[in-house]
Amino acid sequence: MLSGLARAFRTPDLRRKLLFTLGIIVLYRVGSVIPAPGVSYETIQRCIANADTSGLMGVMNLFSGGALLQLSVFALGIMPYITASIIVQLLRVVIPHFEALHKEGQTGTAKLTQYTRYLTIALGLLQATTYVTMARTQMLIPGCDPLVDDRIMTSLFVILSMTAGTALLMWMGEQITEQGIGNGMSMLIFISIAASFPPALWSIASGSGGFGKFAIVVLISLIVIAAVVYVEQSQRRIPVQYAKRMVGRKMYGGSTTYIPIKINMAGVIPVIFASSLLAIPMLIVQFANVQGGWVDWVQRNLVNNEAPLHIVFYVALILFFAFFYTAITFNPEEVADNMKKYGGFIPGIRAGRPTADYLTYVITRVTTAGAIYLALVALIPTIAFIALGVGGNVPFGGTSILIIVGVGLETVKQIDAQLQQRHYEGLLK
């Protein structure tokens, strides 16, 4: 691996891409600790030191690389763009115009990207306004108002700065995708989560847990990461044979290939959706002023992540969104029509409707295994760390591990592919 990285840095074009990516990452981490105009740095640091980061705000702070609770210029992170991208993808099912744009090729994709950018700015304004309001009312960090004064202009400066930071991060992510290595948006999330690992591990080792619990946490994390790597690399390959055909005076077809169907085709999206929906009761409870009654029931059964009902809902939502998102991203009828158009067929299966039915059957079985796998990965680390008594201090949740492993594998594969294109031995052996 080290020799492969050395070869990558000795290749001029690849070295330029790697250094460009590292430069963007450094700028991102610097911006994550620069407070927005109107935020008192001393006050916010004092409040964070005494804050409880085990709830919803702790999870959101994790995905922003610790920038949210500091109300930095990059406090919103890249999550507004991710949310906007998911919304635009889902709208393809509801709005025929969006589906037509998707089928137009590069021109339609550029138009959808433009819609995603506009929606990102709108979501950024909404989220920035929400967080500033929560900071004003001391709900972001209990007992702490980090803004320097109560003027409306101060709040507007903070909101505009955070929204502009989101727009800048969106641009930085796109630059990584075009001129660097890997998917830029995924890379920024990867860096945000990875940046929280060292302080979290140090807090376990230096706290009441000691090095014994530290070693157990590291061991559990490594086992889960190894399992995730194994499953994420697994795929069901459906063989496809292309018939020979004459086009003019040339013979085409006659080749054999396969359709790779990953066990986890939905990626980390079902876990993110499930977490987002289960965060709604927490927000309702925070804004509700009612004492007792339904508020206590919601706090005990839905907000508390150790409650059996919370776990049941969490698993059910993961299973539902795994099937739902896979159905959106993989259309068996479209794949069957494309195969029929180019003379392809699955051995033993007739082209057209029988092929679509067969693909649906295979996708359903594979997605069932993938959905169960997602639920286990999301639950096992959390339950294990809660049993150890360090659940609130560890960022190694199922979502974090899936993102870290997925982005890491994809980036390594891209570096390996570019090394092999230049007739070098690949990064992977």
Token digits of residue 78: 């890249």
Q: Which amino acid is at 214?
A: F
Sign of the CA dihedral with 40 first, then 41, 44, and 47 last: negative
Instruction: Report which of 37, 35, 23 is spatially closest to residue 67, judged by C-alpha positions.
Output: 35
Cα separations (Å) of 329 from 101, 106, 359? 15, 18, 14
Question: What is the model's pLDDT at position 389?
Answer: 65
Question: What is the model's pLDDT at position 31?
Answer: 87
272 vs 120: CA distance, rounded Å? 17
Please work out, in degrees rounded to the nearest 5, the angle formed at the alpha carbon of residue 253 by the alpha carbons of 251 and 256: 150
Q: How many CB atoms lie within 10 A of CB 372?
A: 15
Token digits of residue 81: 């763009």
Question: What is the model's pLDDT at position 133?
Answer: 84
Containing 261, the helix (H) or strand (E) segment is strand 256-262
Q: How many CB atoms lie within 10 A of CB 141?
A: 22
CB of 228 closer than 8 Å to CB of 267: no
Quickly tell me which residue has 């194994």 as its tokens: 230
311 vs 300: CA distance, rounded Å? 12
Token digits of residue 334: 């479209």
Question: What is the model's pLDDT at position 325?
Answer: 85
Sign of the CA dihedral with 268 first, then 272, 273, and 275 last: positive
DSSP, res 425: P
Instruction: Report which of 187, 174, 85, 175 is spatially closest to residue 415, judged by C-alpha positions.
Output: 187
Instruction: Report which of 184, 217, 216 is spatially closest to residue 200, judged by C-alpha positions.
Output: 217
Written as tens digits, the pLDDT of the chain (429 aa) is 566 667 777 778 888 888 999 999 999 988 888 888 888 878 877 777 766 555 556 666 666 767 777 888 888 888 888 888 888 887 887 888 888 887 787 888 888 889 999 999 998 898 888 888 888 877 777 777 788 877 888 889 889 999 999 999 999 998 998 888 888 888 888 888 888 777 777 777 776 566 777 787 778 778 888 888 888 888 888 888 887 666 666 666 567 888 888 888 887 778 777 877 777 776 666 666 556 567 677 777 776 666 778 788 888 888 998 898 888 888 888 888 888 887 788 888 888 888 889 999 999 999 999 899 888 888 776 676 667 666 555 555 667 778 788 888 888 888 887 777 765 555 555
Instruction: Report which of 64, 117, 60, 63 is spatially closest to residue 88, judged by C-alpha positions.
Output: 117
Q: Which domains does the chain have, with CATH numbers?
A: 1-195 (1.10.3370.10)
